[in-house]
Amino acid sequence: MSANRAVPGLIPAVFEEEAADVTVEMDAYPDAIQSLLQGPSSPWPPLAEAPRPHDDRPVVATFEGGRYFRIRYPEAAEFVLDSSGTRIWCPWHADQSVDHTALYLTGPVLGFVLRLRGLTCLHASGVVFPQGAVGFVGASGVGKSTLALAFGARGRPVLADDILALRMTPSGVQATPAHGRLRLWPDALEHLEGADHRRPRLVSDWSKRYVDLQDGSVTAQDQPVPLRVLYVLEDGSAENGAGPNLQPLRPSEALARLAMHTYRADWLSPAMRAQEFDFLGSLVVRVPVRSLRCVRGLTELAARCDLIAGDVETLAPLPSGQGFEQDAGASRP
């Protein structure tokens, strides 16, 4: 990706500008885009409800018959992107916080770009074992990022946080590395790193913090890896004293669970949703999916990690040359 401003959370890279898959312009809208936005628009997806007064959810609209999308966060940020997912425009003002804008850009906006480019994205974090990529899927607050950092502390390369992008290849499902930060709440960081280790805030007025995957505290995976197993994190708080519980899911069960946890599914058209469903149907017959029921919070985190690690070790390692190998340099440049 090429951008005319440094974007917090993205890892700098050196390449020819014309080789960029996605170009981001953070500046005043060019005249052509200004003119475009003066024309008629349609809600997206086509059946979306009109926004209600005081609704702080993002509003998505299409222009020129679906050739362009505008994503507006009330009183926060706005983006225009083309339907091929190759160009992003973000109007920029001197008093704007680049950190706030980057949160939207590196999260929902680039997540939607991945969807436009044909990748299926799970709401998940991921790490890498010798067996392949391991994904932790679930709702917000269930502990996906915490598990990723916990395994990072155990020496497993971190693959993704919040958005796990997947594609089908002739050899199977491939998981793609994401941007360079893990985002966690202070209590999770204190539990894993101690009270004296203070990580920076994502933005000044929000308590959530981040681990920079370039600082050397954990290893970051920088190459795609075959997906080996997915764990759907589910709340087992009602099962008092039972400890974390791991159960395999039949393909039909796995499909239903994963369909609930794809990223920005609310921004997909019916045709895009059908394509996603076909992809997930193929995934669940190729990749094992487990349900991991556990108490929310940090009390069972070590037991959760041990249970997952023991389960992953029962799987066959990747053949040499098909992904991560422990002696290979897996960190990002």
pLDDT tens digits for 177-189?
988 899 999 999 9
Q: How far apart are CA 164 and CA 67, in angstroms?
A: 26
Q: How far apart are CA 175 and CA 159, in angstroms?
A: 8
Q: Which residue has the higher pLDDT, 102 or 148?
A: 148
In whole angstroms, what separates CA 165 from the centre of its chain?
7
Supply the mean pLDDT for the chain. 88
In the structure, what pLDDT confidence band is assigned to residue 331 with cuts at 50, 70 and 90? very low
Q: Which CATH number fits domain 120-312: 3.40.50, 1.20.120, 3.30.420, 2.40.128?
A: 3.40.50
Calculate ∠ Cα 120-307-328, nearest 5°: 65
The answer to which of 7-11, 55-59, 142-146, 326-330 has the lowest mean pLDDT is 326-330
pLDDT confidence band for 239 (50 / 70 / 90): low
pLDDT score of 325: 38
What pLDDT does 324 receive?
43
Q: What is the structure's pLDDT at 151?
A: 97
Pairwise CA distance, residues 257 & 130, whole Å: 26
- Alpha helix positions (H), the chain: 31-37, 98-104, 110-116, 144-153, 186-193, 251-259, 270-283, 301-312
Q: Tell me which DSSP letter residue 30 carries.
A: P
Q: What is the pLDDT of residues 275-325, one digit of tens each?
A: 999 999 999 999 999 999 988 888 889 999 999 999 999 998 876 555 443
pLDDT above 90 coverage of the chain, percent = 65
Rounded-to-integer distance, Cα 140 and Cα 123, Å:
8
Check residue 328 and give its pLDDT.
35
Neighbouring residues of 236: CB distance < 8 A, sequence distance ≥ 6: 242, 244, 245, 293, 294, 295
User: Would you say residue 70 has pLDDT above 70?
Assistant: yes
Domain borders along the chain are 2-116, 120-312
Q: What mean pLDDT do residues 251-271 have? A: 95
Instruction: State the amino acid at position 181 in one-letter form.
Output: R
Under the banding of pLDDT at 50, 70 and 90, the label for residue 330 is very low
What's 212-278 look like in SS3?
A: ECCCCCCCECCCCEEEEEEEEEEECCCCCCCCCEEEECCHHHHHHHHHCCECCHHHCCHHHHHHHHH
Nearest Cα to 157, choosing from 221, 230, 227, 222? 221
